[in-house]
């Protein structure tokens, strides 16, 4: 069986996916393959001029211009001129949708003068190209927005992509067609210590080996800005096979950021140094203030116990004693505030009756209120108010509030102290009929070193109420203040949580001091006035006292006769009191009670004293009752271990 060549050609053309049109020498459509019939609707135009088919197809050229009339159609002109037309892109609006074709028309070499036109559908290709171009534009925009220099290097180190920031930071070097080593040399890339970076250590080289480089700092020389510190990250780009074919490099100039951090660190260090110096100054100041107060208070205590003094002398001694204790309270408040701010104040929790602390605090001001002709009253619940907290600090809170109220209450005024319990909250209110507080000052009244701007009376350090607030908050409580205005008094309210105590509540009573008859005391103190008055205070209580003015002298005295009690200053002229107690503890372990006497009252001072071997720590100035209460306490040495008396 013989198959005609024309039939073979038609079958071959029908097998093609692209529409194919054949014209004769007169420009009539002689053949349309199956794709042309299906996509272009060419079947009805076979035998007609090709122009009739093209006239029915709404056509736009690549630049979006519609073809007007069949005679002006590029394919018609090419057929009529029998000239090749290669790769003409046309967009056709067909019934099935808008399709972009790449049309090619070629004259046939059969001598008959016909042409063949092939339409290749490039709609998907052009769509992908448009999407890729849009994606590239978006990525370029994003890359230009980031504050890092971003560029992509091919496997040969040549830049494939460079964002705007890269050109700004690295200059023309970023885009020059240089090898990585040449680029590193041009930018003088070096380690932070100034050593040139080796080719193997370059982020590009490491990324090409498959490493991910994240946040490595290095130095470069900028052509206009000099040495800059750069933070570099490098990431390998892999093909589906896993092979690395390029790298993404990101640079960020952190020179200014690093300098700012250095400035911040310098400022922080300076602030810490200033804080340390301030603490040292406060400690030294407290020592210098306490030391001269000790003989004043000591002699005052001794004279008050003598009989036969007249009323004027008694009043003078009481005034001296009262003002010395006020001075001591100011020093203590200043030290406590410093401890709280630095997180060094630890509460010593115990079970106690809150009524007793309020009563004791109020009793301490009865004389001062009477002298000022201010009526001081206290209202307490009839039943015990159990509390789990630091009794001494709660006493300090109430003391500061009453002292503040008395300070701003004139003669013939009144100060009322009231303790009330509601649910699990104890409220302590201290109200006065004094000068009052302006509305604009209520917000700052609890701040440190601040006093009311509209308060007519000035004075004080401005730390008492701030200390009240901080100590209350350490107990989990809160503070409040109210006043109807200047001249109408003020009311301070403290709320403290009442937790279930874990130990029995003591009544807070202090027994009468027991005398020291028959007990020997070694007193080591370099200040002659303090040494003399403490010696007399101890002898009045019946103790046999031996004194020494230096540490070595005290050690020798203890060697001659071992005392029952050692009272030793910390700051001695030859060796520190801590050295003294270590020597005595090593030679005579457990043989005596050792008590540190010092004007330094910081928490660290107490810790060092206890660690050195002292059983207790006394802060100057010491009153007679305080000293007797500690020295006359019964029990073993271990029972007093770690005691602190301020």
Q: Which residues pair with 379 in a beta bridge?
A: 418
Q: SS3 of 252, please?
A: strand
The secondary element (H helix, E strand) that includes residue 492 is strand 490-497
Min mean pLDDT across 88-97, 183-192, 320-329, 438-447 is at: 320-329
Chain center to CA of 580: 44
Q: SS3 of 13, please?
A: helix
DSSP 373-430: T-EEEEE--SS--EEEE-HHHHHHHHHHHHHHHHHT--TT-EEEEEEEEETTEEEEEE
Average pLDDT over residues 368-392: 89
- Residue 329 has a pLDDT of 65
Distance from C-alpha of 90 to C-alpha of 236, rounded to nearest angstrom: 41
SS3 sequence of 271-336: HHHHHHHHHHHHHHHHHHHHHHHHHHHHHHHHHHCCCCCCHHHHHHHHHHHHHHHHHHHHHHHHHH
pTM, two decimals, is 0.42
Distance from C-alpha of 514 to C-alpha of 381, rounded to nearest angstrom: 33
Residue 500 has pLDDT above 60, yes or no: no
Considering only residues 485 and 334, tell me which one the structure prediction assigns the higher pLDDT: 485
- Residue 636 has a pLDDT of 34
The top-scoring range by mean pLDDT among 102-111, 123-132, 375-384, 582-591 is 375-384
Q: Which residues pair with 495 in a beta bridge?
A: 427, 478
Min mean pLDDT across 170-174, 213-217, 220-224 is at: 170-174
535 torsion bin: left (phi>0), alpha (psi -120 to 50), beta (else): alpha
- Residue 531 has a pLDDT of 87
Residue 547 has pLDDT above 90, yes or no: yes
Confidence class of residue 509 from pLDDT cuts 50, 70 and 90? very low
Whose CA is closest to 112, among 25, 222, 208? 25
Considering only residues 257 and 590, tell me which one the structure prediction assigns the higher pLDDT: 257
* Percent of the chain's residues with pLDDT above 70: 80
Q: Is the peptide bond before 212 cis (omega within 30 degrees of 0)?
A: no
7 torsion bin: left (phi>0), alpha (psi -120 to 50), beta (else): alpha
Q: Output the average pLDDT for the chain.
A: 80
- Residue 506 has a pLDDT of 42
Confidence class of residue 513 from pLDDT cuts 50, 70 and 90? very low
Min mean pLDDT across 57-71, 461-475, 486-500, 553-567 is at: 57-71
Residue 158 has pLDDT above 50, yes or no: yes
- Residue 523 has a pLDDT of 93
Residue 615 has pLDDT above 50, yes or no: yes
The top-scoring range by mean pLDDT among 11-20, 458-467, 552-561, 637-646 is 552-561
């Amino acid at each position: 069986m013989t198959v005609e060549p024309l039939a073979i050609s038609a079958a071959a053309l029908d097998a093609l996916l692209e529409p194919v049109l054949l014209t004769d020498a007169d420009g009539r459509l002689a053949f349309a393959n199956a794709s042309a019939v299906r996509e272009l609707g060419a079947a009805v135009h076979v035998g007609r001029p090709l122009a009739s088919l093209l006239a029915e197809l709404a056509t736009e050229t690549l630049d979006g211009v519609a073809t007007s009339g069949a005679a002006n159609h590029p394919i018609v002109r090419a057929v009529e001129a029998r000239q090749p037309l290669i790769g003409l892109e046309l967009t056709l609006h067909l019934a099935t949708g808008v399709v972009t074709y790449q049309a090619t028309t070629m004259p046939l070499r059969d001598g008959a003068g016909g042409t063949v036109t092939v339409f290749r559908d490039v709609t998907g290709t052009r769509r992908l190209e448009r999407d890729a171009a849009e994606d590239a534009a978006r990525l370029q925009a994003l890359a230009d927005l980031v504050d890092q220099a971003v560029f992509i290097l091919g496997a040969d180190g040549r830049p494939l992509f460079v964002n705007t920031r890269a050109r700004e930071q690295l200059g023309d070097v970023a885009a020059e067609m240089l090898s990585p080593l040449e680029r590193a040399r041009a930018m003088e890339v070096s380690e932070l210590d100034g050593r040139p970076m080796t080719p193997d250590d370059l982020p590009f080289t490491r990324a090409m080996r498959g490493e991910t480089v994240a946040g490595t700092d290095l130095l470069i020389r900028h052509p206009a800005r000099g040495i800059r510190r750069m933070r570099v990250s490098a990431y390998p780009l892999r093909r589906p096979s896993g092979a690395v074919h390029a790298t993404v490099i990101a640079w960020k100039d952190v020179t200014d950021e690093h300098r700012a951090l250095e400035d911040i660190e310098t400022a922080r260090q300076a602030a810490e140094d200033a804080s340390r110096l301030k603490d040292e100054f406060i400690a030294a100041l407290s020592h210098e203030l306490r030391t001269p107060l000790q003989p004043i208070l000591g002699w005052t205590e001794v004279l008050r116990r003598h009989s036969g003094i007249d009323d004027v002398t008694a009043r003078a001694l009481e005034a001296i004693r009262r003002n010395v204790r006020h001075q001591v309270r100011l020093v203590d408040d200043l030290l406590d505030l410093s401890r709280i701010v630095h997180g060094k104040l630890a509460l010593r929790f115990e079970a106690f009756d809150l009524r007793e602390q309020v009563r004791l605090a109020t009793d301490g001001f009865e004389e001062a209120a009477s002298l000022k002709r201010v009526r001081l009253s206290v209202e307490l619940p009839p039943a015990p108010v159990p509390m789990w907290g630091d009794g001494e600090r709660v006493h300090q809170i109430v003391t500061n509030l009453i002292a503040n109220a008395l300070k701003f209450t004139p003669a013939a005024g009144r100060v009322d102290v009231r303790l009330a319990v509601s649910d699990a909250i104890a409220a302590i209110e201290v109200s006065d009929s004094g000068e009052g507080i302006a509305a604009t000052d209520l917000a700052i009244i609890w701040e440190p070193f601040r006093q009311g701007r509209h308060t007519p009376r000035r004075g004080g350090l401005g730390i008492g109420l701030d200390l009240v607030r901080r100590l209350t908050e350490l107990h989990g409580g809160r503070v409040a203040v109210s006043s109807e205005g200047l001249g109408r008094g003020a009311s301070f309210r403290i709320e403290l949580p009442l937790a279930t105590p874990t130990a029995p509540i003591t009544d807070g009573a202090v027994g009468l001091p027991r005398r020291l008859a028959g007990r020997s005391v070694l007193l080591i103190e370099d200040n002659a006035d303090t040494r003399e008055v403490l010696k007399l205070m101890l002898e009045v209580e019946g103790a046999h006292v031996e004194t020494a003015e230096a540490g070595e002298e005290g050690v020798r005295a203890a060697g001659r006769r071992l005392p029952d009690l050692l009272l030793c200053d910390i700051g001695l002229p030859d060796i520190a009191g801590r050295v003294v107690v270590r020597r005595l503890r090593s030679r005579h372990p457990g043989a005596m009670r050792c008590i540190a006497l010092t004007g330094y009252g910081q928490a660290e001072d107490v810790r060092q004293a206890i660690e050195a071997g002292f059983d207790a720590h006394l802060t100057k100035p010491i009153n007679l009752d305080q000293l007797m209460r500690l020295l006359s306490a019964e029990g073993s040495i271990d029972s007093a271990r770690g005691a602190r008396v301020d």
